[in-house]
Structure 1
């Protein structure tokens, strides 16, 4: 459920970003009869308000996650993770080499 939520949020942000890019793009204007330009209202549009709101929520979520990470950071766990990573990459590379040799022997034959 969390992955679906993040995907939906990403898609909403992507659509909002494209909509904002199209409204500010000079190529998005429709060519036609020249009408006298009207003064735009000084209040922000609904789209900009939503973008600012989502941006502020995103920033606060990043800060909360960063705070939680800093509170729970343990140097010993970090060392264990680095050690596990180095051992697992060594094992994977060894077994990948064995598999590659077996595959080449099988394909090449004697």
Structure 2
């Protein structure tokens, strides 16, 4: 809860800061036009944050993929496949027996 609150507060302050920069109270009162300034060619703060978060996300995905590949054991995979095939065979056998018993009960002798 505390982290969400701080994040929301930060975003509200960020929006208010941008709003204060784009609207000058003295220009509105006097009605004067401010000269249009060329925008700098450097990326904005939002773009920098997006690029930073994207790079962190990509590095986290690569780290997770690396850990998965390091811990992948072919013998464990083979054992899991064997257990799956044996368990599905057992379940299908018992499901067949159960179906036969149920049909015999419903039909009667």
TM-score, normalised to structure 1's length? 0.46
Q: Distance in 1 between matches of 2:40 and 2:49?
A: 17
Q: Highest CA radius of gyration, 1 or 2?
A: 2
Please report how far the alpha carbon of residue 62 of structure 1 lies from its aligned counterpart in structure 2 after TM superposition: 3.7
Paired residues in the alignment total 109
Q: Secondary structure at the match of 1:30?
A: helix
Moved more, 78-87 or 35-44: 35-44
Root-mean-square deviation (Å): 10.2
Q: Which ranges of structure 1 fall in alignment gaps of 5 or more residues?
A: none
Change (3 A) 1:44 1:82: same
Once the two structures are superposed, what CA deviation does each residue of 1:79-101 show, in whole Å capped at 9, x if it has no partner?
A: 11111111111111101111111
TM-score, normalised to structure 2's length? 0.46
Q: Which ranges of structure 2 fall in alignment gaps of 5 or more residues?
A: none
